[in-house]
Structure 1
Amino acid sequence: MNMAVTQLEPYILKGSIKVIDRFFSVPVDYTKPDGPHIRIFARNLIPLDEAKGSGTDAAESDLPYLLYLQGGPGFGVDLSLSVDLGNALHKKKYQTLWLDPRGTGLSTPITADIFQTKKMDDEAIAKYLKHFRADNIVRDCETIRHFLLDGKKDPEARKWTIFGQSFGGFCAATYLSFHSDGLKEVFITGGIPPMVDSPDSVYEALVLKVEERNKVYYAKYPQDVRNVRRILGFLEDNNVVIPNGGNLTVSRWLQLGVQFGSHGGIDRVHQLVFRAITDLDTFGKLSYGLLDSVQSAQSFDTNPIYAVLHEPIYCQGRMAGWSAHRTIQKNDRFIWGKVKFMRDAPIYFTGEMIFPDMFRDYRHLRPLQGAAELLAHDEDWPMLYDKEALKKNKVKVNAATYYDDMYVDFGLVQEAASVIGNVEQLITNQSFHDGIRKHRDNILTTLFDLSKRERD
């Protein structure tokens, strides 16, 4: 496949890090290589001191590649993460490659206004979005790997190492399933994927962890039982519009609970509750500052893939059918219409879950409502994992698994880990899902120790 590549002028960051930014042109649909193309952005960080200090006068290009696969789905790579985590990885004698997965960041983005500009109907939008799951992200990676490494004489030098955080780990498992011959080694943090065909079992497990985190929240801030009830009562009785034109509804306020799964998230939600109550006491309404803070805390407007494909990332030949919504309906503690009649009862916040009403409440999801409905009831999803190939896997997989992960259920992870060959895990209850940010050095040290496969 002929591929157009645009390489921008390199520059040097503090710390002698050479940066090479590239755009790769790839097909939207790999079964139609002559069809429409999109651009994929990848930022290459090369530690010049490590290249010079290798003891062999190695050229920059001789440093082996480590490709970072971002969490999500639907998020590009944060520059500060690439520098901070990159510095730690560079000490392991890698040059790093930071991919904005298709549809995110500087890669050709998925946004509602682009679809409106192209005048695409719901069916066309849904068909287009189906090409933005892990299977095609991995195909993009392979396209880039071939471009960068096919010229190497040593076959082993044509392989690279990958590092998947969260959904990036899901992509890593897809990579191992279908393109393991391109991999030297795999590192995963919080992202061994449940080996399921639909998300139902995922949410049935995760809702228990969300309940647990709610209990921790209200135990820490018992005054918030009445405070949250008061806020929801106000939202129920008033039409509250946030700065970008979206609606702040009862459901949307409870979605702040997604933060319960990360370090400091419980405290951040409490601060929003505290500010909202202060506003109601002072002004009888919610201030612009509070509404802006809520808007900033929720990323669905700017990262619509996170909403539209969040459930389909689990689908293999089965529909998602608004799985989280159906699961939540079974538990009265999450249903304001019932809890409000239970005197002094806490209402539970929801977790990393997608609901149909989000496509009304978030302004930039509204144009995608029809497509989301079509995708929710689509059964034609290709396979993401090959269990037989994974059982025979010989590529070293080193994974950090978090016992108290609110986004990726520990039990389902262990079931999946038992399927994948050559996996070693760091299992800890001292980190949440974002442990690679909070406890980076400890986690990396242990993962690279696991990589040695040394036995007592």
Structure 2
Amino acid sequence: MTVSYRQPGVVLTDHRFTVPLDHDDPAGESIELFAREVVASEKACQDLPWLVYLQGGPGFGANRFVGKQAWLGRALKEFRVLLLDQRGTGHSTPANRQTLPLRGGPGAQADYLAHFRADSIVRDCEAIRPRLTGGAPWTVLGQSFGGFCAVHYLSTAPEGLRAALITGGLPSLDAHADDVYRAAYPRIERKVAAHYARYPQDIERARQIAEHLVRHEPVLSNGYRLTVEAFQSLGILLGGGEGSHRLHYLLEEAFVRTPQGPALSDAFQEEVQGLLSYAGHPLYALVHEACYAQGERPTAWSAERVRAEFPQFDAAKALADDGPLLFTGESVHPWLFDTDPALRPLRETAEELAARTDWRPLYDPARLAANEVPVAAAVYHDDMYVDPEHSLRTARAIGGLRTWVTNEFEHDGVRVGGPRVLDRLLALTRDEV
């Protein structure tokens, strides 16, 4: 059953689809996918080509736009847009600490979650495409992890694509997670250095907060244990266009005077809790490193192991040496499953996934080299989350792909500069620039 309704300037239609959990076993267990169709009000009755938005993450539902926000307004000038809640996210069949125990123990839960990577998401798209387009190919817009999905789409089902648009999401075709993080930590360090150059007062503020956390080990109102390592992970903000400013404003309101002395302010703790909790997107923590996994080599908590190769990120060392505390970024560590109450029941499941050695290949280099689908990718020169060198190497490996390399935007360029970014990528796929 579909339901249609209106917002300013748009008509929305909610769709629900049933797909196999394992597309290789179509008669087996099924799950539900939710997707929201959006069309401009004045074009609601027109036969328009489709554009499917593949959200970043993994583990996040599609954007909940109001009207024609961000890139959506530009897309609606010529497309009927599908905002897909990828499996396990949003209104699709959920996968979290409340529902995963229905699967059984940690091993069974890990087996289930192995079906929540780009390969399954693309097969979901191909399962629902004929139901919406009558079999016609559609355009995909892949942001970040959504770009990983788009490259897998080009590898396995290019016949389903009219064009592919990728923003900050060209993955390495063959890098292990270790290679990804060895490239990431120096980029993160540069972002932190740039933040401290802009806001030098934050050097001392960050140290004071870290020292307070060491002494007091606070527990936030939702049960989150705010350790120094968790505090460092607020560096994930530095990957966005306004992230450095957001981090600065957060740090400057960290402390309040009380009869017992300085304490972390309620406002600071509340904002930190919202930034650090995985309650709304646990799949991000569970399958993040698995997004890079191919073949028999386990990820084995890659970000944690590789971090040891960069001692400058060690908080205890920084505090002992009177040096600046370095923030970290988009990485998942085993301690998350101790600090975050939304993840604690899933620690053993995460361990199972980290040890897994039967990952399928995600990309087909030969098929990508022979690609004939129009593809354009925005590569952000200073991207903290996705290595630009890895992205450019992949761009050269995909036939006909055109790149737009820019340092005008950070990783969230499609959000903050959406109409311009989308317009540029569409023009590239049409040889208009």
**TM-score by structure 1 length?**
0.91
Q: CA deviation at 1:90?
A: 1.1
Aligned to 2:4: 10
1:66 is matched with which residue: 36, 41, 51? 51
Q: Give the conservation status (yes or no) of the 8 Å contact 2:181–2:302.
A: yes
Q: Give the conservation status (yes or no) of the 8 Å contact 1:243–1:288.
A: no
Task: Flag the 1:280–1:263 CA change in 2: closer, same or farther, 3 A.
Answer: farther
The C-alpha deviation readout for 1:242-277, integer Å capped at 9, x for no partner, is 121110110100000011010111111122211113
The C-alpha deviation readout for 1:356-403, integer Å capped at 9, x for no partner, is 100000111001100111111111100111110000000000111100
Aligned to 2:75: 89
Q: Does 1:76 align with 2:61?
A: yes
**TM-score by structure 2 length?**
0.96
Aligned to 1:268: 246
Q: Which moved more, 1:373-382 or 1:78-87?
A: 78-87
Q: Give the conservation status (yes or no) of the 8 Å contact 1:402–1:429.
A: yes
Q: Give the conservation status (yes or no) of the 8 Å contact 1:402–1:433.
A: yes
Percent identical among aligned pairs is 40
Task: For 1:132 and 1:279, locate their aligned partners in 2 and report how far apart those are by CA, in whole Å.
Answer: 47
1:125 is matched with which residue: 95, 109, 114? 109
Q: Which moved more, 1:315-324 or 1:76-85?
A: 76-85
Task: For 1:333 and 1:21, locate their aligned partners in 2 and report how far apart those are by CA, in whole Å.
Answer: 49
Q: Does 1:327 align with 2:306?
A: yes
SS in structure 2 of the partner of residue 10 of structure 1: strand
The letter of the residue matching 1:76 is G
The letter of the residue matching 2:53 is Y
Task: For 1:326 and 1:249, locate their aligned partners in 2 and report how far apart those are by CA, in whole Å.
Answer: 19
SS in structure 1 of the partner of residue 254 of structure 2: helix
Matches within 5 A, 1:210-289: 210-278=188-256, 283-289=261-267
SS in structure 2 of the partner of residue 338 of structure 1: helix
Q: Which moved more, 1:439-448 or 1:198-207?
A: 439-448
Task: For 1:214 and 1:329, locate their aligned partners in 2 and report how far apart those are by CA, in whole Å.
Answer: 18
Task: For 2:157 and 2:409, locate their aligned partners in 1 and report how far apart those are by CA, in whole Å.
Answer: 31
Q: Give the conservation status (yes or no) of the 8 Å contact 2:55–2:63.
A: no
Task: For 1:291 and 1:254, locate their aligned partners in 2 and report how far apart those are by CA, in whole Å.
Answer: 14
Structure 1 portions without partners, runs of 5+: 1-6, 52-58, 153-157
> Where in structure 1 do 4 or more consecutive aligned residues deviate above 3 Å?
277-283
Q: CA deviation at 1:104?
A: 0.3
Aligned to 2:317: 338
Aligned to 2:385: 407
Task: Flag the 1:119–1:69 CA change in 2: closer, same or farther, 3 A.
Answer: closer
Aligned to 1:54: none
Q: Does 1:183 align with 2:176?
A: no
Task: For 2:260 and 2:63, locate their aligned partners in 1 and report how far apart those are by CA, in whole Å.
Answer: 37
Q: Give the conservation status (yes or no) of the 8 Å contact 1:319–1:379.
A: yes
The C-alpha deviation readout for 1:387-436, integer Å capped at 9, x for no partner, is 10000000000111100000000000011111111101111011100011
Aligned to 2:124: 140
The C-alpha deviation readout for 1:131-168, integer Å capped at 9, x for no partner, is 00000000100011021223x6xxxxx11111111111
Task: For 1:408 and 1:294, locate their aligned partners in 2 and report how far apart those are by CA, in whole Å.
Answer: 24
Task: For 1:373 and 1:78, locate their aligned partners in 2 and report how far apart those are by CA, in whole Å.
Answer: 30
Aligned to 1:46: 39
Aligned to 1:202: 180
Q: CA deviation at 1:281?
A: 10
Q: Report the RMSD for the aligned CA atoms in angstroms.
A: 1.7
Task: For 1:166 and 1:135, locate their aligned partners in 2 and report how far apart those are by CA, in whole Å.
Answer: 15
Task: Flag the 1:336–1:450 CA change in 2: closer, same or farther, 3 A.
Answer: same
Q: Give the conservation status (yes or no) of the 8 Å contact 1:65–1:95.
A: yes
Q: CA deviation at 1:444?
A: 2.2
Q: Give the number of aligned pairs.
A: 431
Q: CA deviation at 1:289?
A: 2.4
The letter of the residue matching 2:130 is H
Task: Flag the 1:454–1:281 CA change in 2: closer, same or farther, 3 A.
Answer: farther
Q: Does 1:418 align with 2:403?
A: no
Matches within 5 A, 1:20-31: 20-31=13-24
